[in-house]
Amino acid sequence: MRRLTVFNSVSADGYFTDANGDMSWAHKNDPEFNDFTANNAKGSGGGTLLFGRVTYDMMKAFWPTPEAAKTFPDVAQAMNALSKVVFSKTMKKADWQNTKLVKDDPIAVVKAMKQESGPDIVVMGSGTIVALLAEAGLVDEYQLVVNPLVLGDGRTLFEGVKKPLPLKLVNERRFKNGNVLLCYQPAK
């Protein structure tokens, strides 16, 4: 059975995007954090990335570029090589390398994916997808990188969740740049 992990950066006040949908505040060119993200990307073991349309468009606009390959070579290689699924009812095609466009219900599709054998699944960004999958009880772990920044407004990962989702802390890591990685699993 495949595991589903959510990996996202959030501000200290709980937003994963600012009021304009921007996430660039979360990308610091810091050697220690870059090493962590590169090792995290290498350790994905050929997993599958899940995106909503907005996050897919943002990721596709950066990771296949020469700038990404120069600045974050290991992460860019992994992002481009991994299989990707983008959920969208409005897109006509998904043309980023190794991407499958899915117009069906994300909950049903992810339930089926989790029953298959194979590498794990990771959701990055994609707050609408995260909220749907979290409320459906499909997320096995949340890896949240808390950034030392208050945005004041934006979007949370869990907009639309209607019931409490108790979590238990299973791991943490502090970075010199002020980021803190918090790993939670559902408290069942």
Q: Phi/psi at 144 (nearest 5 deg)? A: -110, 125
Give the pLDDT confidence score for residue 44 in this predicted structure.
54
The packing angle between helices 31-42 and 73-81, to 10°, is 30
For residue 187, what are the CA distances in angstroms to 28, 33, 79, 139?
A: 32, 28, 30, 12
Mention every residue, 6+ apart, whose C-beta is less than 8 A from residue 62.
68
Q: Cβ distance 26 to 145 under 8 Å? A: yes
- Amino acid 176: pLDDT: 93
For the chain, what is the largest distance between any 2 Cα atoms, rounded to a whole number of angstroms?
44
pTM over 0.85: yes
Residues 141-174 as b or e (16 or more Cβ within 10 Å = b): bbbbbbbebebeebbbbeeeeeeeeebeeeeeee
Taking only the tens of pLDDT, the chain with its 188 residues reads: 999 999 999 999 999 999 998 888 887 778 888 788 777 766 555 689 999 999 999 999 999 999 999 988 888 898 999 999 999 999 999 999 999 999 999 999 999 999 999 899 999 888 899 999 999 999 999 999 999 999 999 999 999 899 999 999 999 999 999 999 999 999 97
- CATH superfamily ID and name for 4-186: Dihydrofolate Reductase, subunit A (3.40.430.10)
